[in-house]
Amino acid sequence: MSNTEYVNNKEVNSRACLRLKEAGFDAIDAAILRELAADARIPRAELSRRVGLSAPSVADRVRRLEDVGIITGYGARIGPARLGYGLTILIRARPLPGEMHNMIEAIRGTPQIVACDRVSGDDCFVARAHVRDVAEMEAVIDRIVPFGATNSSVVQSSPIEERLVEL
């Protein structure tokens, strides 16, 4: 990361912290986020009881957290293995010169790929995919290879599942 990028990121982070303060983000908001992260289906009455506020106050706070983009959505956590996807793979990819757009489209158009990040370093992308078997893994990789180099790894376990950032 260059000095300019570092300074720009620091400015963005400072502005984000200022927006949080201006929005009145506090310990109760943090408690609401923790409860919703643990169980997004928690009834508002139970959420209100756990954070010590009335249901209308909690509803207002949740709406505000949604409006400022802190809460970006709600969803179910799915167990891919229970649906027959026995392997989770990580694919690191580096496009050939002039093939960035085509690689992005290949990744986007591959339904087994459930997440992809553009990263710094030797590779440009790290994608996460769920596949049924090694043959399907090979087919997924074959969709990307025409546009650059790939390197893949099979996930053996996930000792730390996705979790809420420190609040």
Of 20, 42, 67, at which residue does a domain stop? 67
Q: What is the CATH number of the domain that holds 58?
A: 1.10.10.10
Give the Cα separation of 126 and 39 in Å (integer): 28
Q: What is the pLDDT of residue 128?
A: 98
Verify that 95 and 139 share a domain, yes or no. yes
Confidence (pLDDT) at 77: 87
Q: Which residues of the chain, if any, have pLDDT below 50?
A: 1, 3-4, 6-7
Distance CA 159, CA 93 (A): 24
The answer on 56 and 86 residing in a single domain is no
**CB within 8 A of 50, min separation 6: which ones?**
31, 35, 42
Residue 28 maps to a domain: yes
Mean pLDDT for the chain overall? 90
Q: Where are the beta strands (DSSP E) in 3-124?
A: 87-95, 113-118
Residue 96 covered by a domain: yes
Residue 57's domain comprises 3-67
* Domain shared by 50 and 84, yes or no: no
Q: Are residues 106 and 145 in the same domain?
A: yes
Q: How far apart are CA 17 and CA 145, in angstroms?
A: 41
Q: CATH number, domain at 103?
A: 3.30.70.920
